[in-house]
Copies of this chain bind each other. A is one copy, B any other.
Protein backbone atom coordinates (compact mmCIF):
# COMPACT_ATOMS: atom_id res chain seq x y z
CA UNK A 1 0.00 0.00 0.00
CA UNK A 2 2.85 2.46 0.02
CA UNK A 3 1.85 3.16 -3.56
CA UNK A 4 -0.07 6.25 -4.52
CA UNK A 5 0.41 9.88 -5.36
CA UNK A 6 3.37 11.43 -3.59
CA UNK A 7 2.00 12.25 -0.16
CA UNK A 8 3.30 14.91 2.21
CA UNK A 9 3.99 18.17 0.44
CA UNK A 10 7.31 18.50 -1.39
CA UNK A 11 8.92 15.10 -1.64
CA UNK A 12 12.10 14.93 0.38
CA UNK A 13 14.70 17.10 -1.31
CA UNK A 14 16.72 14.01 -2.14
CA UNK A 15 19.16 14.60 0.65
CA UNK A 16 20.22 11.02 -0.09
CA UNK A 17 22.35 12.50 -2.85
CA UNK A 18 25.66 11.54 -1.24
CA UNK A 19 25.16 7.84 -0.48
CA UNK A 20 23.07 7.31 -3.61
CA UNK A 21 25.87 8.71 -5.76
CA UNK A 22 28.40 6.43 -4.14
CA UNK A 23 26.22 3.38 -4.66
CA UNK A 24 25.67 4.41 -8.26
CA UNK A 25 29.43 4.52 -8.74
CA UNK A 26 29.83 1.04 -7.29
CA UNK A 27 27.17 -0.40 -9.55
CA UNK A 28 28.56 1.36 -12.62
CA UNK A 29 31.96 -0.09 -11.86
CA UNK A 30 30.45 -3.56 -11.52
CA UNK A 31 28.83 -3.12 -14.92
CA UNK A 32 32.20 -2.18 -16.40
CA UNK A 33 33.70 -5.31 -14.86
CA UNK A 34 31.02 -7.39 -16.53
CA UNK A 35 31.97 -6.00 -19.89
CA UNK A 36 35.47 -7.35 -19.32
CA UNK A 37 34.34 -10.68 -17.96
CA UNK A 38 33.89 -12.47 -21.24
CA UNK A 39 37.29 -11.37 -22.51
CA UNK A 40 38.87 -12.70 -19.35
CA UNK A 41 37.21 -16.09 -19.52
CA UNK A 42 38.04 -16.41 -23.23
CA UNK A 43 41.74 -15.61 -22.98
CA UNK A 44 42.02 -17.98 -20.04
CA UNK A 45 40.35 -20.75 -22.03
CA UNK A 46 42.50 -20.04 -25.08
CA UNK A 47 45.66 -20.26 -23.00
CA UNK A 48 44.47 -23.53 -21.46
CA UNK A 49 43.64 -25.09 -24.81
CA UNK A 50 46.92 -23.95 -26.30
CA UNK A 51 48.74 -25.61 -23.42
CA UNK A 52 46.65 -28.79 -23.56
CA UNK A 53 46.23 -29.35 -27.28
CA UNK A 54 48.94 -27.15 -28.74
CA UNK A 55 46.36 -24.91 -30.33
CA UNK A 56 43.06 -23.25 -29.49
CA UNK A 57 40.37 -23.88 -32.05
CA UNK A 58 36.75 -22.77 -32.30
CA UNK A 59 35.00 -26.01 -31.38
CA UNK A 60 37.31 -26.58 -28.45
CA UNK A 61 36.49 -23.14 -27.11
CA UNK A 62 32.78 -23.69 -27.72
CA UNK A 63 32.84 -26.93 -25.76
CA UNK A 64 34.81 -25.47 -22.91
CA UNK A 65 32.76 -22.29 -22.68
CA UNK A 66 29.39 -23.97 -23.00
CA UNK A 67 28.24 -21.93 -25.99
CA UNK A 68 27.79 -22.63 -29.69
CA UNK A 69 30.61 -22.21 -32.17
CA UNK A 70 28.80 -19.23 -33.64
CA UNK A 71 29.00 -17.34 -30.39
CA UNK A 72 32.69 -18.15 -30.16
CA UNK A 73 33.39 -16.87 -33.66
CA UNK A 74 31.66 -13.57 -33.05
CA UNK A 75 33.30 -13.07 -29.70
CA UNK A 76 36.72 -13.87 -31.13
CA UNK A 77 36.12 -11.16 -33.72
CA UNK A 78 35.60 -8.66 -30.93
CA UNK A 79 38.62 -9.87 -28.99
CA UNK A 80 40.64 -9.51 -32.16
CA UNK A 81 39.48 -5.96 -32.56
CA UNK A 82 40.31 -5.34 -28.91
CA UNK A 83 43.82 -6.63 -29.52
CA UNK A 84 43.76 -9.73 -27.31
CA UNK A 85 43.97 -12.40 -30.01
CA UNK A 86 44.99 -13.00 -33.59
CA UNK A 87 43.12 -15.34 -35.90
CA UNK A 88 42.63 -15.99 -39.59
CA UNK A 89 39.71 -17.95 -41.04
CA UNK A 90 40.02 -21.72 -40.61
CA UNK A 91 43.16 -21.33 -38.54
CA UNK A 92 43.75 -21.63 -34.83
CA UNK A 93 43.40 -18.74 -32.42
CA UNK A 94 46.47 -17.26 -30.73
CA UNK A 95 46.90 -14.75 -27.95
CA UNK A 96 48.71 -11.48 -28.51
CA UNK A 97 51.24 -10.41 -25.91
CA UNK A 98 48.51 -8.37 -24.29
CA UNK A 99 46.14 -11.33 -24.35
CA UNK A 100 48.83 -13.56 -22.94
CA UNK A 101 49.45 -11.18 -20.07
CA UNK A 102 45.74 -10.94 -19.36
CA UNK A 103 45.43 -14.73 -19.39
CA UNK A 104 48.30 -15.11 -16.96
CA UNK A 105 46.79 -12.56 -14.62
CA UNK A 106 43.35 -14.20 -14.80
CA UNK A 107 44.72 -17.67 -14.29
CA UNK A 108 46.61 -16.58 -11.20
CA UNK A 109 43.64 -14.66 -9.82
CA UNK A 110 41.25 -17.52 -10.54
CA UNK A 111 43.48 -20.03 -8.79
CA UNK A 112 43.93 -17.72 -5.81
CA UNK A 113 40.20 -17.20 -5.39
CA UNK A 114 39.48 -20.92 -5.70
CA UNK A 115 42.25 -21.85 -3.27
CA UNK A 116 41.03 -19.25 -0.81
CA UNK A 117 37.49 -20.65 -0.91
CA UNK A 118 38.79 -24.19 -0.48
CA UNK A 119 40.80 -22.99 2.50
CA UNK A 120 37.50 -21.97 4.10
CA UNK A 121 36.28 -25.52 3.78
CA UNK A 122 34.19 -25.07 0.63
CA UNK A 123 34.03 -28.31 -1.37
CA UNK A 124 36.20 -28.40 -4.49
CA UNK A 125 33.39 -28.22 -7.04
CA UNK A 126 31.47 -25.47 -5.27
CA UNK A 127 34.66 -23.44 -4.82
CA UNK A 128 35.41 -23.78 -8.51
CA UNK A 129 31.87 -22.74 -9.40
CA UNK A 130 31.89 -19.67 -7.16
CA UNK A 131 35.39 -18.69 -8.23
CA UNK A 132 34.30 -18.59 -11.85
CA UNK A 133 32.01 -15.68 -11.06
CA UNK A 134 33.76 -14.03 -8.13
CA UNK A 135 37.16 -13.72 -9.80
CA UNK A 136 36.01 -10.89 -12.06
CA UNK A 137 34.97 -8.70 -9.15
CA UNK A 138 38.01 -9.03 -6.92
CA UNK A 139 40.09 -5.87 -6.52
CA UNK A 140 43.87 -6.02 -6.19
CA UNK A 141 43.46 -5.22 -2.50
CA UNK A 142 41.11 -8.12 -1.93
CA UNK A 143 43.25 -10.44 -4.01
CA UNK A 144 46.25 -9.51 -1.89
CA UNK A 145 44.25 -10.16 1.27
CA UNK A 146 43.26 -13.61 -0.03
CA UNK A 147 46.89 -14.40 -0.78
CA UNK A 148 47.94 -13.22 2.66
CA UNK A 149 45.35 -15.52 4.25
CA UNK A 150 46.65 -18.44 2.24
CA UNK A 151 50.22 -17.79 3.32
CA UNK A 152 49.41 -17.88 7.02
CA UNK A 153 46.59 -20.36 7.49
CA UNK A 154 44.96 -20.47 10.85
CA UNK A 155 45.46 -23.49 13.12
| Residues from 120 to 136 in A contacting B, C-beta threshold 8 Å | 120-123, 125-130, 132-134, 136
Nearest neighbor of A95 in chain B, beta-carbon distance: B2
Give the size of the chain A interface in residues (CB under 8 angstroms): 69
| A residues with CB within 8 A of B | 2-7, 11-12, 14, 16-17, 20-31, 33-34, 41, 45, 50, 52-55, 57, 60, 63-66, 86-88, 91-94, 117, 120-123, 125-130, 132-134, 136-139, 141-142, 145-146, 149, 154
10 shortest interchain CB distances as A-B pairs: A133-B137, A24-B66, A120-B145, A30-B133, A28-B66, A26-B132, A20-B64, A3-B92, A134-B137, A20-B63
